[in-house]
Amino acid sequence: MSSQPLFHLAFPVHDLAEARRFYGGLLGCAEGRSSDAWVDFNFYGHQVVAHLAPEEAGHRQTSAVDGDDVPVRHFGAILPMHEWESLAGRLKDAGIRFVIEPHVRFKGQAGEQATMFFLDPSGNALEFKAFGDLAQVFAR
């Protein structure tokens, strides 16, 4: 294991079986420990935990970013460009409805990035990004 700190996020879902199909099946995140109330997933090297809490699931607010209404509460990963493109194709093939279609944001500006937003089966928003140059991740 790397000495790089790992990120941990717990989030609410309506149904653990749906979460397993979505995160484990579609996104390819290996499952870790679980109980009848939660499931750990290896989310691109980080630990995310789907907790059964239907009343808390889903996104509610948006914020304007570069012409898009971005779900305020969201999480995701920054992938290499070829993995981002592959994931976008896999999601399209699976019939996932995008909140924000895959596209390039901030074209020609600091922080130029490929981005896409979609919802998991519980309505939680996810964003996946890719940068042509990782030095641009924190560009101002």
Look up the CATH number of the domain holding residue 13.
3.10.180.10
Question: In this structure, what token pair is assigned to residue 71?
Answer: 């779900």
What are the φ and ψ backbone dihedral angles of 119, each rounded to 5 degrees?
Answer: -110, 145
Residues 46 and 67 in one domain: no
Q: Domain residues for 40?
A: 8-53
Residues 119 and 75 in one domain: yes
Q: How many domains does the chain have?
A: 2
Residue 94 counted as domain residue: yes
Cβ(131)–Cβ(115) under 8 Å? no
Q: Is the pLDDT of residue 26 over 70?
A: yes
Cβ(124)–Cβ(57) under 8 Å? yes
Position 2 scores a pLDDT of 61
Residues 119 and 94 in one domain: yes
Position 108 scores a pLDDT of 84
Q: What is the DSSP letter of 29?
A: P
Neighbours of 60 (CB within 10 A): 9
Residue 92 counted as domain residue: yes
Question: In this structure, what token pair is assigned to residue 75?
Answer: 């999480």
Condensed to tens digits (0 to 9), the pLDDT of residues 115-130 reads 999 999 999 999 999 9
Mention every residue, 6+ apart, whose C-beta is less than 8 A from residue 114: 81, 84, 85, 102, 103, 104, 105, 129, 130, 131
Residue 3 counted as domain residue: no
- The three-state secondary structure class of 123 is coil
Residue 23 counted as domain residue: yes
Question: In this structure, what token pair is assigned to residue 25?
Answer: 């099946």
Condensed to tens digits (0 to 9), the pLDDT of residues 66-121 reads 888 988 999 999 999 999 999 999 999 999 999 999 999 888 888 889 999 999 99
Residue 39 counted as domain residue: yes
Residues 67 and 126 in one domain: yes
Residues 76 and 96 in one domain: yes
Residues 91 and 113 in one domain: yes
Q: Is the pLDDT of residue 134 over 90?
A: no
Residue 38 counted as domain residue: yes
Position 85 scores a pLDDT of 96
